Chains A and B, each alone.
Chain A
Amino acid sequence: MNRTAPSSAALDYRSDTYRDAYSRINAIVLEGEREAHANYLTLAEMLPDHAEALKKLAAMENRHFKGFQSCARNLEVTPDDPFARAYFEQLDGNFQQAAAEGDLTTCMVIQALIIECFAIAAYNVYIPVADAFARKVTEGVVKDEYTHLNFGQQWLKERFVTVREGIERANAQNLPIVWRMLNAVEADTEVLQMDKEAIVEDFMIAYGEALGDIGFSMRDVMKMSARGLASAPRQ
């Protein structure tokens, strides 16, 4: 018996419902790219030996930002900036605090691992349901994000023994925030036909692979990447 999966109801990218949800999701994406840009510049100051490379990453994030701005314009959507700033407040606060303390490991984990994997997962899940214009933009962005992830991965891998505990702590502190963030926008992502489950799974795949490459055992990866997942309150 051949049973095809229920096909997505045709998405009306011009409907009020879609554009309303998009105003928040797009704003979150823009804020994420904006903060990523700033974070890589901060990291460049903390790591003068890698300043060149990090400034390049920052420049790429800026291009992403502009790309996603054009996606909103294309759909005649005004991104909800205040919503997005509040959305990132806790995670960003942790990054800023770590930077102020000179805690490079935490900064790397938050930006180069967690935020990059979050972006990769969200963009991967978005691409099949995006409008044609946004799809092209996002496909280009995702390719970049994989290289960003790789940068953080390499840096942490080279210092695994010394940074191991720091990674575990930063993971324990920040991963639960990501799960809560995902839950908070579940209603909006559903409107965009992005499955929250799929985003989490995609995140865990990218994040788990990175942690494994950095030096953690499979058992550690499973425990770390699931941290706080089940206790995050569901709508």
Chain B
Amino acid sequence: MFGLIGHLTNLSHAQRVARDLGYDEYASHDLEFWCMAPPQAVDEITITSVTGQVIHGQYVESCFLPEMLAQGRFKTAMRKILNAMALVQKRGIDITALGGFSSIIFENFSLDKLLNVRDITLDIQRFTTGNTHTAYILCQQVEQGAVRYGIDPAKATVAVVGATGDIGSAVCRWLTDRAGIHELLLVARDAERLDRLQQELGTGRILPVEEALPKADIVVWVASMNQGMAIDPAGLRTPCLLIDGGYPKNMAGTLQRPGIHILDGGMVEHSLDIDWQIMSFLNVPNPARQFFACFAESMLLEFEGLHFNFSWGRNHITVEKMAQIGSLSKKHGFRPLLEPSQRSGELVHG
């Protein structure tokens, strides 16, 4: 069985979901309540591969909310993730994806030193960050999205916001190594890590975000922001392809301007309907088929019986591993989501 550990994007989102599910206690109370709430296995999942294989999984809501980080409640955030991990391990789940911020919290707060949770010791082999598949899918969205929206990759300047992150650095490696783009712009805050990345890649121009955006034909957003930033579409090129892979999203609100195209980054579309309920709470046009690439990685590992931490740590994702997970992704029927995001106000056809 596979597992998915996830969280919602902010308190009001969490309250809305709780209300929709009929949990009044959770729906009408403030952050304090979520700070005390234990993880819950709230959904059972059945997914069929195009190969015909059928697997089962569980979704565990960690009750983590990004406001906990914004308010400096680090111990709370750490507890949510550790308790969610303990829950899936106790249930004997073989491989679980740490979705969204869960892997970031694990990494930033060195949870590998805190694996003793009450009466169990967490086994990291039972978990994956899901970042290899996410990075792969983002790169497919760049390459295929460019073609779809009339951007010639060979002439394209691509900005990666969050370039030094686990996913961001992997995207940079692939774009440098495998995609024939014109120029790569590296955007993040820490200068030292940017320098190291630039050295490793042997290419890439370091720029702050406000300077990178007007120069970019394609922007891959994959920074770990507690909340999105406001972007003025007037300052962007046209055509411009914005691929927002942040969770919560890196770009706040909707952006409407002819020639601006937005994709929900790091999302896949399956070839078959999936039996679950959780995705109907996230703003995707077709929740039966569209979902996060990091979750998909856990499913791929389960399909293939690869029960180990395929994606782990930060900055270890290689182009080879991305190609490997990419071929498994295609094998089982996943495709990068290329439909315009609802954030763009573009009409979604059919």
By the criterion CB–CB under 8 Å, are A204 and B41 in contact? no
Contacts of B83 in A (CB 8 A): 201, 205
Contacts of A226 in B (CB 8 A): 25-26, 37
User: Closest CB-CB distance, B63 to chain A, in whole Å?
Assistant: 9
By the criterion CB–CB under 8 Å, are A229 and B36 in contact? yes
By the criterion CB–CB under 8 Å, are A2 and B26 in contact? no
In the complex, A169 has a CB within 8 A of chain B:
no
In the complex, A218 has a CB within 8 A of chain B:
yes
Interface hit among A3-11, A69-77, A160-168? A3-11
Bound-state CA distance A4–B36 (Å) is 22
Please give me the residue from chain A that is nearest to B193 by CB atom. Answer: A1
Interface hit among A25-33, A84-92, A192-200? A192-200
By the criterion CB–CB under 8 Å, are B190 and A198 in contact? no
User: Closest CB-CB distance, B114 to chain A, in whole Å?
Assistant: 9
Given that A201-B83, A204-B38 are known contacts, is A5 also in contact with B25, CB under 8 Å in the complex?
Answer: no
By the criterion CB–CB under 8 Å, are B36 and A222 in contact? no
Bound-state CA distance A197–B83 (Å) is 13
Interface hit among B70-78, B94-102, B258-266? B70-78
By the criterion CB–CB under 8 Å, are B35 and A197 in contact? yes
Describe A's contact surface by its main secondary structure.
Answer: helix
By the criterion CB–CB under 8 Å, are B33 and A222 in contact? no
Given that A223-B25, A226-B25 are known contacts, is A218 also in contact with B42, CB under 8 Å in the complex?
Answer: yes
Bound-state CA distance A3–B37 (Å) is 24
Interface string of A192-229 (1 = CB under 8 A from B): 00010110111011001000000000110011011101
User: Closest CB-CB distance, A197 to chain B, in whole Å?
Assistant: 5
By the criterion CB–CB under 8 Å, are B41 and A198 in contact? no
User: Closest CB-CB distance, B113 to chain A, in whole Å?
Assistant: 9
Contacts of A133 in B (CB 8 A): none
Bound-state CA distance A195–B39 (Å) is 18
Bound-state CA distance A226–B109 (Å) is 29
By the criterion CB–CB under 8 Å, are B23 and A223 in contact? yes
User: Closest CB-CB distance, B132 to chain A, in whole Å?
Assistant: 21
By the criterion CB–CB under 8 Å, are A124 and B33 in contact? no
Bound-state CA distance A100–B55 (Å) is 53
In the complex, A132 has a CB within 8 A of chain B:
no
By the criterion CB–CB under 8 Å, are B38 and A208 in contact? yes
Contacts of B74 in A (CB 8 A): 3, 5-6
In the complex, B199 has a CB within 8 A of chain A:
no
Contacts of B107 in A (CB 8 A): 2
Total contacting residues, chain B, CB less than 8 A:
31
By the criterion CB–CB under 8 Å, are A2 and B37 in contact? no
In the complex, A146 has a CB within 8 A of chain B:
yes
Given that A146-B119, A218-B41, A218-B42 are known contacts, is A2 also in contact with B110, CB under 8 Å in the complex?
Answer: yes
In the complex, B118 has a CB within 8 A of chain A:
yes
Given that A5-B109, A124-B118, A230-B29 are known contacts, is A201 also in contact with B38, CB under 8 Å in the complex?
Answer: yes
Bound-state CA distance A1–B119 (Å) is 31
In the complex, B270 has a CB within 8 A of chain A:
no
Interface string of B30-48 (1 = CB under 8 A from A): 0011011111111000000
Please give me the residue from chain B that is nearest to A5 by CB atom. Answer: B74
Contacts of A204 in B (CB 8 A): 36-38
In the complex, B126 has a CB within 8 A of chain A:
no
By the criterion CB–CB under 8 Å, are B33 and A218 in contact? no
Bound-state CA distance A234–B35 (Å) is 14
Give which listed residue, A4, A218, A223, contacts B110 with CB less than 8 A.
A4
Interface string of B288-300 (1 = CB under 8 A from A): 0000000000000
Contacts of A205 in B (CB 8 A): 38-39, 83, 87, 118
Contacts of A219 in B (CB 8 A): 22-23
Bound-state CA distance A226–B23 (Å) is 10
Bound-state CA distance A90–B84 (Å) is 34
Bound-state CA distance A222–B109 (Å) is 29
Bound-state CA distance A143–B140 (Å) is 51
Considering the complex, which residues of chain B in the window 147-205 have a beta carbon less than 8 Å from any beta carbon of chain A? 190, 193
By the criterion CB–CB under 8 Å, are A197 and B36 in contact? yes
Given that A202-B118, A204-B37 are known contacts, is A197 also in contact with B110, CB under 8 Å in the complex?
Answer: no
Bound-state CA distance A87–B25 (Å) is 27
In the complex, B51 has a CB within 8 A of chain A:
no
In the complex, B79 has a CB within 8 A of chain A:
yes
By the criterion CB–CB under 8 Å, are B33 and A229 in contact? yes
A–B complex contacts, Cβ < 8 Å, 25 sampled: A4-B109, A4-B110, A5-B75, A5-B78, A5-B109, A146-B119, A197-B32, A197-B76, A198-B75, A200-B36, A201-B79, A201-B83, A202-B118, A204-B37, A204-B38, A205-B87, A208-B40, A218-B40, A218-B42, A219-B22, A222-B40, A227-B25, A230-B29, A230-B32, A230-B33
The 9 closest A-B pairs by CB, nearest first: A200-B36, A226-B25, A230-B29, A204-B38, A5-B74, A205-B38, A197-B35, A197-B36, A3-B108
